[in-house]
Structure 1
Amino acid sequence: MDLTRQGFADALVELGHETDNVVALDADLSCSVLSAPFAKQFPHRQFNLGIAEQSMAATAAGLSAMGFRVFIASYAMFAAGRAWEIVRQQVSYGEANVVVVGAHGGVSVGKDGPTHQCCEDLALMRVLPKMKVVVPCDYWETFKTVKYAGKTTGPFYFRMGREKVPVVTGKDDPWELGKANTFAEGTDGTIIACGLMVALALEAREMLERDGIRPRVVNMHTIKPLDVAAIEKAIDETGAIVTAEEHSIIGGLGSAVAEAVVQSGKPVPMRFVGVEDRYLESGAMNDLLKQAGLTSEHIAAEVRTVLARRR
C-alpha cells in the first residue's frame, strides 16, 4: 500500500534534477498534494498562489509562454472544478504546456465530504480539446505519469487520491500514454478499470474464478486518448464489458468506453460500476466506497449480469 501522491512527489523532485524548466505552483496545499518536497529542493521554482486556483491556472499559462513546463496542483474539486474556465480558455485553448494535477479525487477523500469528493473531474477535463487525461492506479503509475507529463508538451490532466492504495504495478512495468495494460487474460467478458478500481477489479476476478468465470482485466489508465484497439479486442474476444471507476458514471471512463463500443459497430452488453447520479456524505473511505457500490463484489455481480446477456 502506498500513496499515489507520493509517486507525484518523488517523480517531481526527480524531474527537477533532470531539467531546469519544470516549475510547480500550488494553491496553499503543498503539504497535502505533496509538492512540498519539490519546493524544499527547488525553492525558486515553486510558487504558492494562495487559495486562488483560477489565478494559479492563469499564471501557469503565462509561465508556459515563457518556456516552462508547469505543474499546478490542488484538490481535484478546485483544480478541475473551480479553475475550469481558466483551464479551458488559457491552458486548453492556448495549448499551454501545463500539467493540471487533481489530488484527493473521488469519494475516497472521505471525511472531507461531498463538497470535496470530486467525481466529475474526468468529464470536465475529457471534454476539453487537446487535453490528455490519465488516472494512475498506484504509486508507480503515478510516478511514470509525472515523468511523462513533465517531458511532453500541451495540456495534461491526471488525478491522484488521498489514501493509500494497493501497489499493483512495478517500477519496470511498461507504461505508455494511450496504451491500456492487460493485467489478467480471460474470455468471460472484460473488466475495464482505472485508478483504485483496478485493484478491486483484480479482486473481483479472483472471486469469479472460484466459479470458473475468467474475465479479462484491463487497466485503462489513459482516459484520453483512449485505447480503442484494446476495447475492440475485448469486444471480439470476450463479448461483454464492465467498466469500473471512482467517478460519476456520466462522462468518465464508462462513457468513453461506451462511445468507443458504439462507434465500433460491434455492440456488446455493458454495465457501469461508478458513482450514480448522486452526492455522497462525509465518512471513512471504505464505508463510502461500499455505499457507492465501488466494491469487488459489485464488479463481480455486474460481470455475471453482462455474461447472462451475452449472445
Structure 2
Amino acid sequence: MAESKKIATRAAYGEFLVQEGANNDKLIVMDADLSGSTKTKEFARVFPERFVQSGIAEQDLMAEAAGIALSGHVVCASTFAMFAAGRAYEIIRNSIGYTGANVKICATHAGITVGEDGASHQTFEDIALMREIPGMVVINPSDAVSAKKLLKQAVDMEGPAYVRLGRSAVPVLYDEDHEFKLGKAETLREGDDVTIIATGIMTAAALEAAETLAGEGIQARVLDMHTIKPLDEDAVISAARETGKIVTAEEHSVIGGLGSAVAEVVVKNCPVPVEMVGQKDVFGESGKPDELLKKYGMTAEDIVEAVRKLAKN
C-alpha cells in the first residue's frame, strides 16, 4: 500500500464528478454556495447545464435534489456535513429517505478536522443521524482511492446514500487498482490478538497504532469499515471470535456511530470487550486539526492506549 502522498477525500470527490460526468449524462450535481470548498466547482465549469447552485438554503437543496432524482436523474448534492445532516435532516428523511430518491448526499468538512471553523461546523452526529434513516446507505472513505471507487458504486446503485468526506489531506492507503465493495470491510493488516475497526481518517491512525503495538508483541488486525450501513457483520463477528477484543476508531461521536454499530453486532452474536475511540460527549473548539485530534482523543496513540486497556483486562 502506498503512503507517500496525502489527498483530501473532498478533492477526490471533485475529480470523480468530472470523470463520471463525462460518461453519465443522467448525473446532476448540486451545491449550497460552497462549490469551491466541496470541490463541485470544476464539474460546474465543465458541465454548467447539469449543475444547480441552490445558494445558502440547504433544505431547498435537498428538496430540489429529491425532485430532480425522482424525475429520472441521479443527483450528487453537496454542502458541509453540519449543514447537510443537521440543517436539512427533516428534508433528507422525508423527501429523500422516505421516497427512496436516487440522491447521493456528498457531505464534506465532517468531524473535528474542520479545525479553525470551530464547534458550530464540527459535526460528530452525522453518521448517527443518517444510519437511522431506513434504506440510507452510509459511506465513510478512508482515502482518495477508496473515495472515488465507492462514490462510483454509490452513483451506480439505486436509492439514497450519504457519503462522508473530509477537509484535510489524508494518506493514500490503497493502490489505484484496488477493488472495493459497498458493505464489505477491507482487511489492511492481519492479527490474532485484537481487532481495530476503523473508518474514515482514523484508518491511517489504526495502521500506525498497529505498528506500535507490534513492537510490544501485540498483533492487531486492522479493518477499514468504509461502509457503516450496511455494516459488514460477518467481518465483525469473525473479528470477535478470532481475536476476542475489538477497538473501534472514528472521527465521530462514540454515541451512534461506528462504535455503536459494531457493538450492536457484537452483543447479539459474540459478546467480547469493545473499546471506542472517537469524540466523547462534548463539543469541539477552534484549532489546528492535528491539535484537536490529540486534545479530543482521536490519534494513533489513543488507539494504542485503548488496546492496552483491553490487554490489562
Counterpart for residue 275 of structure 1: 279
Match of 1:134 in 2: 139
Match of 2:109 in 1: 104
Q: 1:293 aligns with which of 287, 292, 297?
A: 297
Percent of pairs with identical residues: 49
Q: Deviations over 1:27-71 (max 9, x none)?
A: 000000000111111000001000000000000010011100001
- 1:123-174 C-alpha deviation (Å, 9 max, x unpaired): 0100000000010001111111221111111010011110101111121112
Counterpart of 1:96 in 2: which secondary structure? coil
Matched, 1:60 2:65: yes
Matches within 5 A, 1:5-84: 5-84=10-89
> What is the Cα-based RMSD across aligned positions, in Å?
0.7
Q: CA deviation at 1:306?
A: 1.5
Give deviations 1:227-273, integer Å, cap 9, x for gaps.
Answer: 00000110111000000000000000000000000111x21011000
Q: Which structure 2 residues correspond to residues 230-269 of structure 1 after superposition, within 5 A?
A: 230-264=235-269, 266-269=270-273
User: 2:121 matched to 1:119?
Assistant: no
Matched residues in 1 for 2:307 and 2:135: separation?
A: 33
Amino acid at match of 1:20: D
The number of residues matched between the two structures is: 308
The 2-side partners of 1:202 and 1:165 are apart by 13
Please say if residues 15 and 150 of structure 1, whose CA atoms lie closer than 8 Å, have aligned partners that are also in contact: no
Match of 1:173, SS state, is: coil
TM-score, normalising length from structure 2?
0.97
Question: Post-superposition shift, 1:307?
Answer: 2.4
Which amino acid counterpart does residue 302 of structure 2 have in structure 1? H
Deviation at 1:178, TM superposition (A): 0.2
Structure 1 residue 308 displacement after superposition: 2.6
**Which segment drifts farther, 125-134 or 166-175?**
166-175
CA offset digits 1:49-99 (Å, max 9, x no partner): 000000000000100111000010000000111000000000000100000
Q: Which residue of 1 aligns with 2:199?
A: 194
2:3 is matched with which residue?
none
For structure 2, list consecutive stretches of 5 or more residues without a partner in the other structure: 1-5
2: CA distance, partners of 1:145 / 1:42:
22
TM-score, structure 1 normalization: 0.98
Moved over 3 A (4+): none
* 8 Å CA contact 1:12, 1:146 repeated in 2: no
Is the 1:12–1:147 Cα contact (8 Å) retained in structure 2?
A: no
Find the counterpart in structure 2 of residue 206 from structure 1.
211
DSSP 3-state at the match of 1:286:
helix
Amino acid at match of 2:288: A
SS in 2 for 1:16: helix
SS in 2 for 1:87: helix
Which has the larger displacement, 142-151 or 35-44? Answer: 142-151
